[in-house]
Amino acid sequence: MSTFDNPFDPARRLRSGCPCGQHASAEEHDAAMQLACAAPQDEAKRYEGVVASAVMRAVFPKEIQRRAFLKSVGASAALGVLSQFFPIKMATEVFAQGAGKLEKTDLKVGFIPITCATPIIMADPLGFYQKQGLKVDVVKTAGWAVIRDKTINKEYDAAHMLAPMPIAISLGLGSTPIPYTVPAIENINGQGITLAMKHKDRRDPKDWKGFKLAVPFDYSMHNYLLRYYLAEHGIDPDTDIQIRSVPPPEMVANLRADNIDGFLAPDNICQRAIYDGVGFMHLLSKEIWDGHPCCSFAASREFITTSPNSFAALTRAIVDATAYASKPENRKSIAEAIAPAAYLNAPPVVLEQVLTGTYADGLGNIKVDPKRVEFDPFPWQSFAVWMMTQMQRWGQIKGDVDYKGVAEQIYLAADTGKVMKEMGLTPPASAYKSFQVMGKTFDPEKPKEYLASFKIKKAT
Amino acid sequence: MTFSLRFRAALLSLLILAAFLGVWHLATRGTGTAATMSPEYAKLMGLTATAGKSAMPGPLDVGAKLWEHLRNPFYDNGPNDKGLGIQLAYSIARVGIGYLLAVLVAIPLGFLIGMSPLMSRALDPFIQVLKPISPLAWMPLALYTIKDSGLSAIFVIFICAIWPMLLNTAFGVAAVRKEWINVARTLEVGHLRRAFTVILPAAAPTILTGMRISIGIAWLVIVAAEMLVGGTGIGYFVWNEWNNLSITNVIIAILMIGVVGMILDQILAQCTRLVTFPE
């Protein structure tokens, strides 16, 4: 399954039956391509394997010779012989740090204290930045608009942003247009609709006319998913109900004060409302779109051009941390690492419920859903195309959009794929994939038709 | 049985405090009843939901937490978690810099306006328009143009601290008794000497009153500015704890802000007393 198959394996087939030549069959190839982030083994071992493979290939470029050599001496002996005249251990260290010299080693990365920022935050206490030779200050920031302004000001070298924000910034929606990029998606799923306790018997959205609901920001997946969900149930989000932009901590307080009826919010906020007994979980956002992106890791195009090696190292650290966070067995320790005041500043039991997916729903039940929040860094460009269709649908973008052109400028699938490959991970072959939102299939090749198919949208 | 006024006032203050704390304690004792739920479920929930504890902390909770903060006010756990003392020091430093810059601009300019009726009339419209602008309204503009959040916060302190000092200086200078200036004139005292030996001492109490109002405003503004900008300072501390919905820590911060504000005000009040003279 790995991009780097093992050249020390004498039984390795010389010609395989799939288009890229890495897999035994076409089916296996497809399965591997679907996996955006194949779970790595022990990090140090993985790097070592990658380096040893490269050396082995360099010494014996011809596969037939290589196989003969391995057969005669055995794989471990071959590795021993190789390390005699090539310092594999040192090469591994050099490789882990990246090839080019880092232009800048002291970086500042801004984040908003929600579980979506998990990879960015945990990379600090768990040493993922250090491993890339970077000294990163992760700075807690007061809100999405401030994080936007501080990255535009270059106070931050990179930042945690909502997945649609870099598109909005690049297109000049709500700010001056500045070319922004998304080298990695922070998390998928991990949001929820929380309602006030008094609505526990009004679970059908058709009865929600007149509700006041909150989302964290206009250019957010929260806003688009909530609007999508309501519109599918025949509620026009612009006329039938009120959607307000409210900072997450104020959502819980407003819910307690009975100012709002509910919210679609990032997690640990939903769970916090339940923990404090003011709301219940109506549904997880994964029930609207399983595998939807939420937050992103964003950097300006300028940072990439002025410090390409630092940028690559930073992306490696984030991809590495995301791969680590994607494993369920690590989630509990991650919750502990990011709970202190310096990071999320939240009760560990709340974070644990979010990250492990075993949670109280506020109505007296314990639910188990290990996919409540997932981590997969690959920036699918079809995600960006979908977001643009929704920006158009709700009148944030007027006129025509060059969907693919914009998506490819901002969602850096090719660069991230390269980084993933360097790290021995398997990036998908294409940056466009189809997915379903509430049972409706989205074809990234036909965004216009998709947009036209909605009954409820803003008349423009 | 006669006690001095001061003693009786102190006694009454203590009584009011005790009554306040008592009412607070009773009001937050936890009125709700404990909900019935399975123990596994209860483990996932907070005390407000399980034990019917009030969302508002009582005075004992606040006291205990305050003691915890005061015992170790200068710890530093990286960029987002510093002790209360360090946070206050950051805020005081920002207020100090912004305020000093304001003093450097406001007092000479106030002198000019007070001494020259022409300048006074020419600058008046600008002052009148700029004075009532809420300091926080400057914040987005400052962030956008200065492009540095730390400097922006200092700029906001500067811009809001300047007006009371400017107006009071101008008023104090303009209100110096004509006889004193005329005496100086008959003694053929030069312009500069007249300003420093006659006008400044005469106007000093009014100028210091302006400075006292300004420091109060500056301290009011820093909390809001730091909540917006984030990073460090007591305002950031309040935001961070609000983010955690920790009302206990928010109350502690409010208390601290009040105490520091009072100390700053008292320092300037003391200075005013030093320069005031009996007529």
What is the helix, strand, coil percentage profile of chain B, to 5?
75, 0, 20
- State whether ipTM is beyond 0.85: no
- What pLDDT digit, counting tens, does each position of A312-361 carry? 999 999 999 999 999 999 999 999 999 988 888 889 999 999 999 999 99
Judge whether A361 is closer than 8 Å to chain B, CB to CB: no
Contacts of B245 in chain A (CB under 8 A): 249, 252-253, 272, 276
Q: Are B96 and B158 in contact (CB under 8 A)?
A: no
- Which pLDDT belongs to residue B14? 96
Would you say residue A426 has pLDDT above 80? Answer: yes
Report pLDDT for A24.
54
Q: Greater confidence, A16 or B127?
A: B127
Section B177-189 average pLDDT? 88
Q: Does residue A460 surpass a pLDDT of 70?
A: no
pLDDT recorded at residue A378: 92
Name the A residues in 362-391 with CB < 8 Å from any B CB: 364-366
Average pLDDT value for residue range A137-156 = 87
Question: How far does the CA of residue B116 sit from the closest CA of chain A (Å)?
Answer: 42
Confidence band, pLDDT 50/70/90 cuts, at residue B229: confident
The contacts of residue B169 (CB under 8 Å, 6+ apart) are B106, B107, B109, B110, B111, B113, B114, B203, B206, B207, B210
Nearest residue to A324 (alpha-carbon basis) of A133, A112, A129, A161: A129
pLDDT bin (cut points 50, 70, 90) of residue A425 is confident
Predicted local distance difference test score (pLDDT) of residue A62: 67
Instruction: Check A364 against B78: CB less than 8 A apart.
Output: no
Q: Which residue in chain B has the smallest CA separation from A256?
A: B55
* A374–chain B nearest CA distance, Å: 21
Residues of A (184-203) whose Cβ lies below 8 Å from B: none
- CB contact A277 to B (< 8 Å): yes
pLDDT band at A157; cut points 50, 70, 90: very high
Q: How many CB atoms lie within 10 A of CB A391?
A: 22
Burial class (CB in 10 A: 0-12, 13-18, 19+), B190: exposed
Of A249, A342, A353, the CB nearest to B78: A342
Closest CB to B46 among A139, A276, A365: A276
Asked if residue B266 has pLDDT above 90, the reply is: yes
CB of A359 less than 8 A from some CB of B: yes
Q: What is the pLDDT of residue A150?
A: 87
Best B86, B236, B245 member to test A by mutation, with max A CBs in 10 Å, is B245
The contacts of residue A444 (CB under 8 Å, 6+ apart) are: A381, A382, A385, A386, A403, A432, A433, A434
Tell whether the model's pLDDT for residue A18 goes beyond 60. no
For residue A32, is pLDDT > 50?
A: no
> CB burial class (10 A; 0-12, 13-18, 19+) of residue A382?
buried
pLDDT in tens, B47-73: 777 777 777 888 988 999 999 888 888
Give me the count of residues in chain B. Answer: 279
CB pairs under 8 A between A and B: 96
Q: What is the pLDDT of residue A44?
A: 58
E strands, A226-302, where?
A: 242-245, 262-266, 279-284, 295-300
Of chain B, the percentage scoring pLDDT greater than 90 comes to 42
pLDDT at A39 over 80: no
pLDDT, mean of residues B66-86 = 86
For residues A181 and A178, give the distance between their C-alpha atoms in angstroms, rounded to a whole number.
10
Out of A13-27, A335-349, A365-379, B172-186, which region has the weakest mean confidence (pLDDT)?
Answer: A13-27
Which residue from A minimizes the CA distance to B36? Answer: A364
Mean pLDDT value across residues B27-48 = 76
**Amino acid B134: pLDDT:** 83
- Supply the mean pLDDT for chain B: 88
Report residue A16's pLDDT band, with 50, 70 and 90 as the boundaries: very low
If you average pLDDT over residues A215-226, what whole number do you get? 93
Of A204-213, B39-48, B221-230, which has the strongest mean pLDDT? A204-213
The predicted model scores a pTM of 0.80
| Closest by Cβ to B245, choosing from A139, A272, A353 | A272
What pLDDT score was predicted for residue B133? 87
- Confidence grade of residue A219 (pLDDT, cut at 50, 70, 90): very high
Contact B45 A155 (CB under 8 A): no
Chain-chain contact of B77 with A345 (C-beta, under 8 angstroms): no
Q: Is the pLDDT confidence value at B100 over 50?
A: yes
Beta carbons of B228 and A347 less than 8 Å apart: no
The minimum CA-CA distance between A283 and chain B, rounded to whole Å, is 18
Q: Which 8-state DSSP code applies to residue A111?
A: E
Is residue A34 very low, low, confident or very high in pLDDT (cuts 50, 70, 90)?
Answer: very low
Among chain B residues, the shortest Cα distance to A113 is held by B243
What is the predicted pLDDT for the residue at B158?
93
CA atoms of A193 and A223, how far apart (whole Å): 11
Find which of B43, B68, B77, B80 to mutate to test the A interface (most A CBs within 10 Å of its CB): B80
From CA B12, how far away is CA A370, in angstroms rounded?
Answer: 60
Examine the pLDDT at A104 and tell me if it is beyond 60: yes
Chain A residue with minimal CA distance to B76?
Answer: A342
CB contacts, 8 Å: A343 with chain B: 80
Task: Tell which wins on pLDDT, B36 or A371.
Answer: A371
Residue found by looking up tokens 């908003």 in the block: A112
Contact B44 A113 (CB under 8 A): no
A290-304, A355-369, B138-152: the lowest-pLDDT one = B138-152
Q: How confident is the model at residue A35 (pLDDT cuts 50, 70, 90)?
A: very low
For chain A, what is the mean pLDDT?
83
- Per-residue model confidence (pLDDT) at position A294: 93
Q: Averaged over B220-247, what is the pLDDT?
A: 87
Read off the tokens for A110.
Answer: 């801004």
